[in-house]
Every structure is written in C-alpha cells, then in structure tokens.
Amino acid sequence: MTARLLIDVGNTRLKWTVAAGDGGLAPVQALAHGGDPAALVEWLPLPDGLHEAWIANVTGDAAGERLAAALGVRHRLPTRFARPVDGLAGLRLAYEDATRLGVDRWLALLAIWGRERAASCVASAGTALTFDAVDARGQHLGGVIAPGLVTAQTAVLGATRFAASGPSQQFTAGLGRDTDACVRQGALHACAGLLDRLAARHPGPRYLIGGDAETLAPHLDGGWQLRPDLVLEGLAALAAAGPA
C-alpha cells in the first residue's frame, strides 16, 4: 500500500499528515514556520515507507522550492506542488486565470465539492480572512479576501496614533471599554459580520478553516462547521487522482 506525505504551507504554519493508499489520513500535526518552511524538515517525525510528497504552498515559489529540496535531501522524497485546475472533478472556477486563485482556497473547495456535490460556502480565518461560494452545479461563484483578526488590528494601529498595546486575541461578544479592547472588537465584528453577511446570501452548508477558526466560530451566527483540515483533504483527493 502506497503512502504520501501531504504538506499544507500557510502564511504562518506548516501542517502535515500522511495519506495511505486507502484514502485515510493520519492525525494532522502543525508547527509555526517563521517564514522558512524548509527549516522544519529536519524536525518532522515522518514514518518509513513514504513514496512521494504533495505540497500546497502559499508562501511563494522560492520558499516552496527550498522545502522540496530539503525533503529530497533529508527524506529522499520526490515532491509535487498542487496547482488550481479549472474543471477538476466538475468544480469550475470563477477566476479567468485559475492559477491566480489561492491553492489553499481551491483545495478546500475541492474537498467539499468532491464529498458533498452540493452548494456550499468555505471560509478561512487566518492572516487573511477569505470566503468562497460554490453553487449546486459545481460553479465557483467567486470569493472575497479581507484582513484576518490580527491583521485587521495591525492595520488600524499602523494607520492611527492610538495609544494601544498591540494586536490581541482576547475577544468578547460585546463592545470595547478601552482603546485596546475597541480595536480588538472592531476586528472581531468586521470579520464575523463579513462572513455572516456573505453566508446569508449563499445557500448550503458553511465550513470554517484556518488558524483563527476556533477563535472566530463562537461569534458567528449558527450553522458554521469547523473543518480544520480541509486543505489537506483536498490535497489528498488531488494526489489520489494523479497529476492533472
């Protein structure tokens, strides 16, 4: 039975798992990569018997190539990079140039579409906050990209002279009662309001992923499902299907 290493390189974390030939995924692990995913390769506790690695990378080609090279040297693994493909598995993309769609967004949509074959919404809460919708025919309707919880706070503090201590994750359900809290709550309600507004306009289940998903989820309207490993699930489906 073949086994593949699956790696999801986000803006701040590297997540990895192993996919067996039967499609099952081992427990997902994650580490902050500090802008250098390749530096983590030495510390990944990988099992024997892997025959290739598949990578979803949003940190740029140079960082991706260094990661692939490190996997080759340390673990003798050939690597393949996931790239968005219009029409794969019946999922048609709204982008005129499919390669411009973030690979993480595409893989999350691919995972849900491949499993549900129904209209759905997928949001990712991380450095950026993204939202994408697919209709019941598998047509990607488009999406949005906005600042995430911390990025929104950083933007406000960087563009003002507020005497505030800096970004924080200490959110509440209501309003702030000092400048620090007001900036935090502004970011929270901006993110939550954006997702709930868009989800209300598009039918189907709502899926939430990303490093801040658990922080944001309690402040959203009902119906959102936490699916933290959707990108890796989509990567597993892509790898199982073979190169496009």
Give the list of residues 6+ apart from residue 84 with CB closer than 8 angstroms, or none: 93, 95, 98, 99, 101, 103, 106
| Of residues 48 and 164, more confidently modeled | 48
Q: Average pLDDT of 30-48? A: 92
Q: What is the CATH number of the domain that holds 65?
A: 3.30.420.40
211 within a domain of the structure (yes/no): yes
Structural domain count of the chain: 2
Q: Are residues 37 and 114 in the same domain?
A: no
> CA–CA separation, 94 vs 97, rounded Å?
9
Tens-digit pLDDT profile for residues 184-209: 999 999 999 999 999 999 999 999 99
Q: Are residues 200 and 93 in the same domain?
A: yes
Nearest residue to 198 (alpha-carbon basis) of 124, 136, 93:
124
What are the DSSP calls for 31-99, one per residue? EE-TT-GGGGGGG--PPTT--EEEEEE-S-HHHHHHHHHHHHHHH---EEE----TTGGG-B-S-SSGG
Give the list of residues 6+ apart from residue 104 with CB closer than 8 angstroms, or none: 8, 10, 56, 58, 124, 231
202 within a domain of the structure (yes/no): yes
Q: Are residues 117 and 209 in the same domain?
A: yes
Q: How many CA atoms lie within 13 A of 154 on its CB side?
A: 8
188 within a domain of the structure (yes/no): yes
Three-state DSSP state, 205: coil
Q: Average pLDDT of 58-79? A: 95
- Domain range enclosing 214: 88-232
pLDDT over 90 for what percent of the chain?
A: 82
Given a cut of 90, whether residue 112 has pLDDT beyond it is yes
Three-state DSSP state, 18: strand
Q: Are residues 201 and 173 in the same domain?
A: yes
Give the list of residues 6+ apart from residue 30 with CB closer than 8 angstroms, or none: 13, 14, 15, 16
17 within a domain of the structure (yes/no): yes
Tens-digit pLDDT profile for residues 116-144: 999 999 999 999 999 999 999 999 999 99
Q: Are residues 181 and 224 in the same domain?
A: yes
pLDDT band at residue 60, thresholds of 50, 70 and 90?
very high
Q: Look at residues 60, 81, 102 and tell me which one is the last residue of a structural domain.
A: 81
Q: Which residues are identified as catalytic?
A: 104
Q: Are residues 58 and 150 in the same domain?
A: no
Give, for 107, the enclosing helix (H) or strand (E): helix 103-116
Given a cut of 60, whether residue 1 has pLDDT beyond it is no
Tokens of 73: 């040297």
238 within a domain of the structure (yes/no): no
Q: Are residues 65 and 183 in the same domain?
A: no
pLDDT over 70 for what percent of the chain?
A: 97
Q: Are residues 67 and 96 in the same domain?
A: no
Q: Are residues 20 and 54 in the same domain?
A: yes
Q: Are residues 222 and 129 in the same domain?
A: yes
For the entire predicted model, the pTM comes to 0.92
